[in-house]
Amino acid sequence: MIEALELIPTGKHATSFPRLPSGREYIIGVDASCHIVISGDGVLPRHARLLLEREQAFLKPVDSAQVIVNGERIEGKHFLNHGDWVIIGKTVFQLRFHRMQSENAPSPDKRRISIGRAADSDIGIDSPLVSREHAVILFRDGGWLLQDFGSTNGTYLNGNRVVGAVSIREGDRVDIATFGFVFHESALRPMGGDRQGQVAVAVRGLTREVADRATGKPRYLLSDIDFVIEPGEFVAIFGTSGSGKSTLLDALSGRRAASTGEVTYNGENLYRNYDRFREAIGYVPQQDIVHRKIRVRKALEYTARLRLPPDMQSDEIAHHVGRVLKQVGLAEKADLAVDTPEPLSGGQLKRVSLGVELVANPNILFLDEVTSGLDAGTDKRMMQLFSGLAHEHKKTVICVTHTLENIEHCDQVVLMHQGRLVYFGPPGEARAHFGIEKLSEVYDLLESKPAEFWARRYTDCAQRQRFVTERLDPDRQSSAPAPSPDSTRTARVLDLRQTRTLLARYLDLLGADMRNLFILFAQAPLIGALVGLVFANDGVNPVEEAYSYGNTLFIMVLSAIWFGCLNSAKEVVKELPIYLRERSINLGIGSYLASKMIPLTALALLQCLFLVASVEAFMDMPGNMASRFATLVVVEVAATLMGLTVSTLVNTNDKAVGIIPILLIPQVVLSGAIVNLNEFTTLVAKGTMIAYWGFDAMKSSLPKDILDMVANPANPSEKILPLMGTWNEALAALTLMSTAFLIAAVVGLRLHDGRVRG
């Protein structure tokens, strides 16, 4: 039997009503004759009825009084949970029920509450966002403890991520991704009823201010935006050019915070709790986020291994991938590569990108102009797919679109003009609101008057009252600066699981393009054979031989630098949209770079081996061949890191390829092989040129008698192949350069982090 009830007004002390016998009805209102007297804005004399039936409580409005439970207006008898949020009139309360207990300690069989994805968990959450054994609540030494088991996506107690074991008390809130619970009477009780795990989005006073580049004055990309999206709604954002559509989408998804105002998910500030919601957010950008040389099923499997908890077994991953392939209608294309042998259509390619996001089963999905460039029929099928994800799979779906032919599939539309909200409501009512026959006519109409006119006009309309005012929490206001997205998540420097997955995907991509692989391996022996044929020195005098050896070694060094740069200069930029999306979830920079450098280093070993072997096959070069091979490997690895750094700093493949000659020409000029360097240029070469130290190390592999040879006996100090240092010193310098390029590559990748919130 419920023994006590607490109504907790927002920002005030609790109002307690003890000992409420079950089997009775209690009237709630402001009138003194009510059983439960409450005061507050909008509370009627007799506002609602509270019915207690044994262990259950129900709430029912009196006549047409407004009563909202967990953001949804109720009409009849509504079941209540401990911790529910109730709006009576315009006043917000939280409900807490208490029952009398004969003992403070729980019974022995309730001293441990397991939480996780496993079927035998006490609190089972069937979601890939949850680890198999996620957390546990234990009764120890007269109190309760909440312990997280190092889960992938974390456990949050009253908004704070749990590290180790922490004390949990009556009424505390526990959140795992979008699943909320209240700890009540030694048990974890779900919040949200049938909508648990779904996401409601509330936007209040959202403003995005930037400085105008021309004048330096403030310019508003978004201005005082308010609306509410209910769980499971499909909402389209459209508007005039430059109206702030993408800016709004970024603010809603947490990718870029607004300047002021707030975005809440299920009543929790998104920016302040971004780390908690990160994994529950799906985002499909305009660019494709899938490699085109890889099979569709494999693409989804690799994504699953990167994003899902590490305890997810192969059969579970296969199950999730199969589920997603059916959802997006690609089951028949699952074992085909995106562009070979039968290229996927534009719509199918967008479905693959969508499937990549659906693998983690996000609760809210953002789509940034994913139907752009598609024909009308494909656009219709895509909009139907998005509608099905919202209505059948209970996901909140928000889509930016320019195409209005199929917008009737949406539940609500957000119409933007010059940073202002000029309409939010059902698409079918938008035409009547603007007095037009076709919704596409709204663009010209909006341009006819200032945005402030249309914003004010919407403020006074019925749709604003029904779909914004009545949905928003009236007691919750936000005009303060929006907090920056919480980026406190600490990623491992090198996650071995991520590295293995990325490495397997990279090798899969290499194997899928056999023509490119053949070119990578064939160029070294071809160049080596050419060098050997050109610089063969049979029958020439010792001085000419020395010059020939020097030229050969120099060309070999330049070839290794060329190989390294060419191998890596496009490695990041060619998959930049994929990297940005994976980085925004959980991708570690160390794992990403390791997955690139391991195969590229192996490639360098093979290329250098082929180069040395082919040169030696055509000319008899004295000295230490092993040291030459080792030097070339170090040179090519350094050049690979230099190319990788370039790839992190550019945004197109053309720019990456265009920079390669700019890098190679100084390597030739400042190598010391073409011209004699003065004191200043020598200093520059020693500090920045791979070729300078690579050529010096290669020369040291020749016999001493060749190194001591001079062109003019009258000047014995001017040797044909002078050494600037020892082989060890040269390799140390090359190692330092490699380290510098590695650090630069990390910095280049981190520069992208500002683009990947979300």
What type of residue sits at position 214? A
Average pLDDT of span 525-549: 83
> What is the per-residue pLDDT for 294?
87
> What is the per-residue pLDDT for 373?
76
d(CA 86, CA 78): 11
Domain definitions of the chain by residue range: 2-99, 112-195, 201-280+362-473, 290-352, 496-757
Q: Could you name the CATH architecture of 201-280+362-473? A: 3-Layer(aba) Sandwich (3.40)
Task: DSSP for 375-400, please give it.
Answer: -HHHHHHHHHHHHHHHHTS--EEEEE
- The model's pLDDT over 311-370, given as tens digits with 9 standing for 90+, comes to 888 888 998 899 999 988 888 888 888 776 566 777 888 889 999 999 988 999 999 988
Average pLDDT of span 384-392: 92
CATH number of 2-99: 2.60.200.20
> What is the per-residue pLDDT for 100?
47
- The model's pLDDT over 182-211, given as tens digits with 9 standing for 90+, comes to 888 788 888 766 677 789 999 999 999 888
Average pLDDT of span 416-437: 92
- The model's pLDDT over 541-579, given as tens digits with 9 standing for 90+, comes to 888 888 889 999 999 999 999 999 999 999 999 999 999
Q: What percent of the residues of the chain are helix, what percent strand, and what percent coil, each to the nearest 5?
A: 40, 20, 35
Reading the block at residue 671, the tokens are 């190598």
Average pLDDT of span 110-118: 88
d(CA 690, CA 670): 10
CATH number of 112-195: 2.60.200.20
d(CA 247, CA 288): 20
Q: How large a percentage of the chain has pLDDT more than 90?
A: 43
- The model's pLDDT over 257-277, given as tens digits with 9 standing for 90+, comes to 888 999 999 888 999 888 888
Reading the block at residue 387, the tokens are 């509608």
- The model's pLDDT over 157-186, given as tens digits with 9 standing for 90+, comes to 988 899 989 999 888 889 988 888 888 878
Pairing of strands 4-9, 15-18: antiparallel
What is the spatial order of strands in the sheet that 15-18 belongs to? Answer: 15-18, 4-9, 91-98, 85-88, 67-69, 72-73
Q: Lowest mean pLDDT of 285-289, 323-327, 379-383, 559-563, name the range.
A: 285-289
- The model's pLDDT over 450-478, given as tens digits with 9 standing for 90+, comes to 999 999 999 888 888 888 888 876 545 55
> What is the per-residue pLDDT for 217?
82
- The model's pLDDT over 605-653, given as tens digits with 9 standing for 90+, comes to 999 999 999 999 888 888 899 999 999 999 999 999 999 999 999 989 9
Average pLDDT of span 378-393: 90
Report the mean per-residue pLDDT for the chain. Answer: 86
**Identical fold at 112-195 and 201-280+362-473?**
no
Question: Cα–Cα distances in Å, from 464 out to 201, 429, 433, 434, 478?
Answer: 16, 12, 11, 14, 18
- The model's pLDDT over 43-79, given as tens digits with 9 standing for 90+, comes to 888 899 888 765 678 888 988 888 888 878 888 888 8
pTM above 0.95? no
- The model's pLDDT over 574-603, given as tens digits with 9 standing for 90+, comes to 999 999 989 988 899 999 999 999 999 999
Q: Lowest mean pLDDT of 75-89, 418-432, 720-734, name the range.
A: 75-89
Which has more pLDDT, 396 or 43? 396
Question: Where residue 103 falls among pLDDT bands split at 50, 70, 90?
Answer: very low
pLDDT at 387 > cutoff 80: yes
506, 575 Cβ separation under 8 angstroms? no
Question: Where residue 20 falls among pLDDT bands split at 50, 70, 90?
Answer: low
Continuous H helices in 254-313: 274-277, 296-307
Report the number of secondary-structure helices (H) and strands (E) in the chain. Answer: 21, 31
Average pLDDT of span 15-43: 72
Of 734, 678, 735, 731, give the one whose Cα is nearest residue 700.
731
Q: Is 115 helix (H, G, I), strand (E, B) or coil?
A: strand
Of 703, 695, 751, 689, give the one whose Cα is nearest residue 724.
695
333, 348 Cβ separation under 8 angstroms? yes
- The model's pLDDT over 483-514, given as tens digits with 9 standing for 90+, comes to 555 444 445 567 888 999 999 999 999 888 88
> What is the per-residue pLDDT for 718?
79
434, 445 Cβ separation under 8 angstroms? yes
C-alpha atoms less than 13 angstroms from C-alpha of 113 in its C-beta half-sphere: 20
